[in-house]
Amino acid sequence: MRRRTLPMLLLPVLAAGCAVKPSGKGTLAELRNMRPDVKEVKIDQGLEQAMVGYRRFLEEHDDCRGKVTFLQIAPPSRGEVHTYEEIRTHLDELSGRINGEFAEVDWVPIRYVNQGYPREDLAGFYRASQIGLITPLRDGMNLVCMEFMAANFDRAPALVLSELAGASHELTDAVRVNPRDLEGLMEGIKTALRMSPEERTRRAAALMTRIRALDVHGWAERILGQFSRSALRLVPERGTGTTHSRAPTEAETTW
Model confidence at 7: pLDDT above 90: no
Model confidence at 246: pLDDT above 80: no
Q: What is the pLDDT of residue 104?
A: 93
Q: What is the CATH number of domain 12-196?
A: 3.40.50.2000
Mean pLDDT over 85-96 rounds to: 88
Q: What is the pLDDT of residue 253?
A: 43
Q: What is the pLDDT of residue 252?
A: 44
Model confidence at 162: pLDDT above 90: yes
**Position 227 confidence tier, pLDDT thresholds 50, 70, 90:** low
Q: Report the candidate in 132, 165, 182 with the shortest Cα–Cα distance to residue 44.
A: 165
Q: What is the pLDDT of residue 73?
A: 84
b/e sequence 44-66, b meaning 16+ C-beta within 10 Å? ebbbbbbbbbbbbbbeebeebee
What is the tens place of the pLDDT at every residue in 117-145? Answer: 888 888 888 888 889 999 988 877 778 88
**Position 89 confidence tier, pLDDT thresholds 50, 70, 90:** confident
Lowest mean pLDDT among 67-71, 135-139, 212-216, 246-250: 246-250
CB 84 within 8 A of CB 90: no
CB 70 within 8 A of CB 109: yes
Model confidence at 36: pLDDT above 60: no
pTM of the shown model: 0.73
Mean pLDDT over 213-217 rounds to: 71
3-state secondary structure 202-234: HHHHHHHHHHHHCCHHHHHHHHHHHHHHHCCEE
Half-sphere exposure of 64 (CA within 13 A, CB side): 20
* Domain limits, the chain: 12-196, 217-246
Q: What is the pLDDT of residue 143?
A: 81
In what helix (H) or strand (E) does residue 4 lie, and over which residues does it extend? none
CA dist 87 to 45, 46, 47, 178, Å?
11, 11, 10, 21
Mean pLDDT over 46-67 rounds to: 91
